[in-house]
Structure 1
Amino acid sequence: MAAQTIPRACSNSLPLPSRPNPLVSEIDEHLKRLRDSEATSTSLSISHKLNGLQDLYDCVDKLLQLPFSQQ
């Protein structure tokens, strides 16, 4: 009788840094503010949302430009 082999599962996950980058927390905060402001639709709030999106974009851009070891 032949022995059955059990397939091994490989993990593609990457090790997490011991301390998350502060930019990740800042991005989370920008997302939270944008979600909280979804209900309003005045021209002032639209301008505020666009500024919030720009801030979010800037943070994500900074995070993506970091070397992988610092992310």
Structure 2
Amino acid sequence: MFSLDVFKKILLIFCAIAVPSSLLAIWFGADATFNEKIVLSVVFCLVMPLSIFIFYKIVSFFFKKSHSSKKY
């Protein structure tokens, strides 16, 4: 089982790769209007990292809770 630090680093690497590649795909590969590209950019720049942050907080809460209940 890996620690919460390793899990956080994996999520940060995922964000560092997924957000820029999504933006490149939207702006250079998508056949959409300018307004649609702006909306998708906001989704990938704000909503995606925010949802990953919320997911990390939920997982860390349960991870800490499970480790605090163990008695050594």
TM-score of the two chains, using structure 1 as the length reference: 0.45
Q: Which is helix-richer, 1 or 2?
A: 2
TM-score of the two chains, using structure 2 as the length reference: 0.45
Give 1 or 2 for the bigger CA radius of gyration: 1
